[in-house]
A and B are shown apart, each in its own frame.
Chain A
Amino acid sequence: MAQYVLKRILMIIPVVFLVAITIFTIMYFCPGDPAEIILGVGAAAEDIEALREQMGLNDPFLVQLGNYLYRTFIKFDFGTSYANSVPIIDELSHRFSKTFVLAISAIIIEVIVGIPLGMVSATHRGGWIDQLCMILALIGISVPSFWIGLQLLLIFSLKLSWLPPYGVTTWQGWILPIFVNSLRGIAQMARQARSSMLEVIRSDYVTTARAKGLPERTILFRYALPNALIPLVQTAGQSFGTSLGGTVIIENVFSIPGVGQYMVNAIVTRDYAVIRSAVVVLAIVFSLVMLLVDIAFGFIDPRIKAQYEGRNRKYKWRKKLRRVAANA
Chain B
Amino acid sequence: MLRTQRKVADVTPATMKKSKEETKKQSQFREVMKRLMQNKLAVLGMVIIIVYVLVAIFAPYIIKYDIAELNLGEKNQPPSKEHWCGTDDFGRDIFSRLLYGTRYSLGLGLGAVALGLLVGIILGCLAGFFGGWVEEIIMRFCDLMQAIPGTLLAIVISMVLGSGFVNTIIALGIGRIPMNSRLIRAQFLNQRQLEYVEAARATNCPKTKLMFVHILPNTISPLIVLSTMGVGGTIMMAAGLSFINLGVQPPLPEWGAMITAARQYIRYYPYQLLFPGLFMGILVLALNLFGDGLRDAMDPKLKD
Direct contact of A and B (CB under 8 A): yes
CA gap between A267 and B241 in the complex, in Å: 12
The proximity string for A residues 1-24 relative to B, scoring 1 for CB distances below 8 Å and 0 otherwise, is 000000000000001101100110
A242 / chain B contacts, CB cutoff of 8 Å = 149-151
**Min CB distance, A140 to chain B, in Å?**
10
B149: which of A22, A144, A198, A282 is its contact (CB, 8 Å)? Answer: A282
Quick check: is A299 within 8 A (CB to CB) of the other chain? no
Quick check: is A43 within 8 A (CB to CB) of the other chain? no
Tell whether, in the assembled complex, residue B155 and residue A138 are in contact, meaning their CB atoms are under 8 Å apart: no
Tell whether, in the assembled complex, residue B147 and residue A138 are in contact, meaning their CB atoms are under 8 Å apart: no
CA gap between A252 and B232 in the complex, in Å: 23
B284 / chain A contacts, CB cutoff of 8 Å = 141-142
Tell whether, in the assembled complex, residue B150 and residue A245 are in contact, meaning their CB atoms are under 8 Å apart: yes
A267: which of B151, B159, B236 is its contact (CB, 8 Å)? Answer: B159
A199 / chain B contacts, CB cutoff of 8 Å = 301-302
Which residue of chain B has the shortest Cβ distance to A287 in the bound complex?
A: B147
Quick check: is A195 within 8 A (CB to CB) of the other chain? yes
Quick check: is A246 within 8 A (CB to CB) of the other chain? yes
Tell whether, in the assembled complex, residue B232 and residue A142 are in contact, meaning their CB atoms are under 8 Å apart: yes
**Min CB distance, A224 to chain B, in Å?**
15
The proximity string for B residues 221-260 relative to A, scoring 1 for CB distances below 8 Å and 0 otherwise, is 0000000000010001001100111100000000010010
Tell whether, in the assembled complex, residue A252 and residue B244 are in contact, meaning their CB atoms are under 8 Å apart: yes
Known A-B contacts A147-B259, A249-B243; A154 and B267 likewise in contact (beta carbons under 8 Å) = yes
Quick check: is B148 within 8 A (CB to CB) of the other chain? yes
Which residue of chain A has the shortest Cβ distance to B267 in the bound complex?
A: A154
Tell whether, in the assembled complex, residue B285 and residue A286 are in contact, meaning their CB atoms are under 8 Å apart: no
B140 / chain A contacts, CB cutoff of 8 Å = 18
Tell whether, in the assembled complex, residue B281 and residue A26 are in contact, meaning their CB atoms are under 8 Å apart: no
**Min CB distance, A141 to chain B, in Å?**
6
The proximity string for A residues 115-153 relative to B, scoring 1 for CB distances below 8 Å and 0 otherwise, is 000000000000000000000001101111011001100
CA gap between A252 and B154 in the complex, in Å: 18
Quick check: is B297 within 8 A (CB to CB) of the other chain? no
A151 / chain B contacts, CB cutoff of 8 Å = 266
Give B59-100 interface residues, CB cut-off 8 Å to A. none
Which residue of chain A has the shortest Cβ distance to B245 in the bound complex?
A: A268
Known A-B contacts A143-B277, A195-B302, A283-B147; A26 and B156 likewise in contact (beta carbons under 8 Å) = yes
The residue among A27, A142, A150, A263 with the most chain B CB atoms within 10 A of its own CB is A142
Tell whether, in the assembled complex, residue B149 and residue A143 are in contact, meaning their CB atoms are under 8 Å apart: no
Quick check: is B46 within 8 A (CB to CB) of the other chain? no
A146: which of B143, B144, B243, B267 is its contact (CB, 8 Å)? Answer: B243
CA gap between A43 and B263 in the complex, in Å: 36
Quick check: is B289 within 8 A (CB to CB) of the other chain? yes
B236: which of A26, A144, A268 is its contact (CB, 8 Å)? Answer: A144
A26 / chain B contacts, CB cutoff of 8 Å = 156-157, 160
Tell whether, in the assembled complex, residue A246 and residue B151 are in contact, meaning their CB atoms are under 8 Å apart: yes
A150 / chain B contacts, CB cutoff of 8 Å = 263, 266, 273
Quick check: is B288 within 8 A (CB to CB) of the other chain? yes
**Min CB distance, B226 to chain A, in Å?**
12
CA gap between A150 and B268 in the complex, in Å: 13
Known A-B contacts A146-B243, A241-B149, A242-B151; A18 and B285 likewise in contact (beta carbons under 8 Å) = no
Quick check: is B121 within 8 A (CB to CB) of the other chain? no
Tell whether, in the assembled complex, residue A144 and residue B259 are in contact, meaning their CB atoms are under 8 Å apart: yes
A268 / chain B contacts, CB cutoff of 8 Å = 245
Tell whether, in the assembled complex, residue B150 and residue A241 are in contact, meaning their CB atoms are under 8 Å apart: yes
Quick check: is B280 within 8 A (CB to CB) of the other chain? yes
Give B98-148 interface residues, CB cut-off 8 Å to A. 140, 143-144, 147-148
Known A-B contacts A30-B159, A143-B281, A154-B266; A15 and B143 likewise in contact (beta carbons under 8 Å) = yes
Tell whether, in the assembled complex, residue B148 and residue A282 are in contact, meaning their CB atoms are under 8 Å apart: yes
Quick check: is A83 within 8 A (CB to CB) of the other chain? no
**Min CB distance, B43 to chain A, in Å?**
16
CA gap between A198 and B159 in the complex, in Å: 43
B304 / chain A contacts, CB cutoff of 8 Å = 202
The proximity string for A residues 190-206 relative to B, scoring 1 for CB distances below 8 Å and 0 otherwise, is 00000100110010000
Tell whether, in the assembled complex, residue B267 and residue A16 are in contact, meaning their CB atoms are under 8 Å apart: no
Chain B residues close to A by CB (< 8 Å): 140, 143-144, 147-152, 154-157, 159-160, 232, 236, 239-240, 243-246, 256, 259, 263, 266-267, 273, 277, 280-282, 284-285, 288-289, 301-302, 304
6 contacts between A and B (CB under 8 A): A142-B284, A142-B288, A144-B256, A199-B302, A279-B148, A286-B147
Told that A26-B160, A267-B244 touch, could you supply 9 new A-B pairs with CB distance under 8 A? A144-B280, A146-B259, A146-B263, A199-B301, A248-B151, A252-B244, A267-B246, A268-B245, A275-B156
Q: State the 9 A-B residue pairs at the shortest beta-carbon distance, nearest first.
A: A245-B151, A241-B149, A142-B284, A142-B281, A142-B285, A283-B147, A244-B149, A245-B149, A264-B244
